[in-house]
C-alpha cells in the first residue's frame, strides 16, 4: 500500500470530497452563506448527538471545548467530582483545577471503566459537589465508560454533568438529552470526517442556569456571546472558515449514511480490529466489557517495545499506529478506528501488523 493508512485516534483521514471542500475561497462570516452553512451543520450535529439543546461551534481544538465547559458553568471554589480512568480524564481535571475548582477525585485503574455505583458512592461521600466531570471514551486506554449508567446517578443526585465525548460522539451510542448530559464536548478531527480546528459543545437549560452565576474567567469562550452570535447566523470571532467547509461536507456524508449505519459501521470495524489482533496472539489492554468502538489499545509482541514495533510497521507498510500516553508509553500501542474508516482499512492494518510479528503467524 503506497498511501498512508493513518490509524491514530485523531486527526482521522478525510474523504476526498471533504478535502475538496476546503479548497473553496473565503466567504463573509457575517453573511447569509455562512449563516446557512452553520445552521445546516448544527442541525446535523443535533441528530448525531440526540439533543434539542443549544449546540455551539468553537474555533478551537477539543481541549478548548473542555475549557469552555468548565469556565462557563463553574466558579472558583466550587466542589467538582472528577472521574478519571486515564490521561484525558486527568486533563479535564487539570483544567478545572487551574481555574480554581475544589477537586474530589474518583480514580479508576487504567484499562477499566468507572461504574455508576462508584460514582453514586463518591457523590454520597461528597454531597456538596456541584458538578461531575466524566470522559465518555478514554482515548488513551481504549475504554468507553458506561455513560448512561453514570449519568443516571449524577442526575439522581441533582448534579451538573460535564462530559468529554471528544472521541466517542458520532461513533458510539450517545443520547445527550435522554441520558441528561448538561454539557457535551466533542471535536471535529475525531468522528466527524473533518480536520482539526473546531470543538462542538451542547448546553442544557441547567448548564445555561449555571452559566448565569459562573465566575471562572471567560472571554474568547464566553458561551453567551457564542449563542448570541449564532442566533444572528455568525460567530463572535472570526471562525476557521475552511474547517467549516470541511465539516459541512463531512456532516452531509454522515447524514446521507445515517446515524444508525454510522454507529453500526464503528461496531463492525472495532470488532474486526479486536478479533484480528487476538487471532494473531496479541493481548488487548482494555477490559473487554468496556472496549471502545473508536480506538483499541494492545500490547506489542512479547519482548518488543511498543514504539519500536509501530515504527517498524510504519516503515514497512505505511500504516501509522498511535503510541500511548503517560506511563503507558512504550508499553502499548493503539489502533484508531473512527470517522472515515471501513473494513478494508482495518484489514490492511491487520495485515501490516501480522507481517511484522517476530514469528510468522498464519492468517
Ligand X SMILES: *Cc1c(COP(=O)(O)O)cnc(C)c1O
- Site residues (vs ligand X, CB under 6 A): 10, 61-63, 88, 135, 137, 139, 164, 166-167, 187, 196
Residue 119 in contact with residue 172, Cβ under 8 Å?
A: no
* Cα–Cα nearest to 337, from 347, 352, 324, 326: 347
CA 154 to chain centre: 20
CB of residue 262 to ligand X, shortest distance in Å: 18
Q: Cell triple for residue 157?
A: 443526585
Tell me whether residue 94 is exposed, middle or buried, using C-beta atoms within 10 angstroms of its C-beta: 0 to 12, 13 to 18, 19 or more.
middle
Nearer to ligand X, 38 or 84 (CB): 84
Tell me whether residue 32 is exposed, middle or buried, using C-beta atoms within 10 angstroms of its C-beta: 0 to 12, 13 to 18, 19 or more.
exposed
CB of residue 61 to ligand X, shortest distance in Å: 3
Nearer to ligand X, 61 or 75 (CB): 61
CB of residue 109 to ligand X, shortest distance in Å: 18
CA pair distance 125, 198, nearest whole angstrom: 37
Nearer to ligand X, 8 or 284 (CB): 8
CB of residue 192 to ligand X, shortest distance in Å: 12
Nearer to ligand X, 67 or 78 (CB): 67
CA pair distance 77, 362, nearest whole angstrom: 59
Nearer to ligand X, 187 or 236 (CB): 187
CB of residue 357 to ligand X, shortest distance in Å: 28
Using CB atoms, what's the residue nearest to ligand X?
A: 62
CA pair distance 334, 295, nearest whole angstrom: 7
Write the DSSP string, 204-234.
-HHHHHHHHH--S--STT-HHHHHHHHHTTS
Give the three-class secondary structure for 63.
helix
CB of residue 62 to ligand X, shortest distance in Å: 3
Nearer to ligand X, 82 or 167 (CB): 167
Amino acid at each position: 500500500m503506497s498511501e498512508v493508512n493513518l490509524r491514530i485516534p485523531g486527526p482521522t483521514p478525510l474523504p476526498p470530497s471533504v478535502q475538496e471542500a476546503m479548497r473553496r475561497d473565503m466567504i463573509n462570516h457575517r453573511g447569509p452563506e455562512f449563516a446557512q452553512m452553520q445552521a445546516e451543520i448544527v442541525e446535523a450535529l443535533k441528530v448525531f448527538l440526540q439533543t434539542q439543546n443549544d449546540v455551539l461551534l468553537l474555533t478551537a481544538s477539543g481541549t478548548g471545548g473542555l475549557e469552555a465547559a468548565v469556565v462557563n458553568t463553574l466558579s472558583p471554589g466550587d466542589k467538582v467530582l472528577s472521574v478519571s480512568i486515564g490521561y484525558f480524564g486527568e486533563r479535564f481535571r487539570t483544567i478545572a483545577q487551574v481555574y480554581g475548582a475544589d477537586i474530589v477525585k474518583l480514580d479508576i485503574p487504567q484499562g477499566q471503566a468507572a461504574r455508576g455505583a462508584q460514582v453514586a458512592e463518591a457523590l454520597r461521600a461528597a454531597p456538596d459537589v456541584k458538578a461531575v466531570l466524566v470522559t465518555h471514551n478514554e482515548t488513551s486506554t481504549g475504554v468507553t465508560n458506561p455513560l448512561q449508567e453514570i449519568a443516571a446517578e449524577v442526575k439522581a443526585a441533582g448534579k451538573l454533568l460535564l462530559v468529554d465525548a471528544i472521541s466517542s460522539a458520532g461513533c458510539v451510542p450517545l443520547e445527550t438529552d435522554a441520558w441528561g448530559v448538561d454539557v457535551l464536548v466533542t471535536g471535529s478531527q475525531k468522528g466527524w470526517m473533518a480536520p482539526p480546528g473546531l470543538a462542538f459543545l451542547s448546553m442544557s437549560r441547567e448548564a445555561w442556569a449555571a452559566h448565569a452565576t459562573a465566575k471562572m474567567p471567560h472571554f474568547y469562550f464566553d458561551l453567551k456571546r457564542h449563542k448570541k452570535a449564532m442566533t444572528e447566523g455568525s460567530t463572535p470571532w472570526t471562525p476557521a472558515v475552511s474547517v467549516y467547509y470541511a465539516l459541512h461536507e463531512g456532516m452531509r456524508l454522515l447524514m446521507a449514511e445515517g446515524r444508525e449505519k454510522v454507529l453500526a459501521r464503528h461496531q463492525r470495524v472495532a470488532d474486526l480490529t479486536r478479533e484480528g489482533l487476538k487471532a494473531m496472539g496479541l493481548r488487548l489492554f482494555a477490559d473487554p466489557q468496556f472496549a471502545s468502538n473508536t480506538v483499541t489499545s494492545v500490547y506489542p509482541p512479547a519482548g518488543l517495545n511498543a514504539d519500536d514495533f509501530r515504527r517498524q510497521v510504519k516503515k514497512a507498510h505505511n500504516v501509522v499506529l498511535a503510541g500511548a500516553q503517560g506511563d503507558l508509553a512504550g508499553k502499548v500501542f493503539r489502533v484508531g478506528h473512527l470517522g472515515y474508516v471501513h473494513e478494508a482499512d482495518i484489514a490492511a492494518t491487520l495485515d501490516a501488523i501480522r507481517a511484522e510479528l517476530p514469528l510468522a503467524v498464519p492468517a
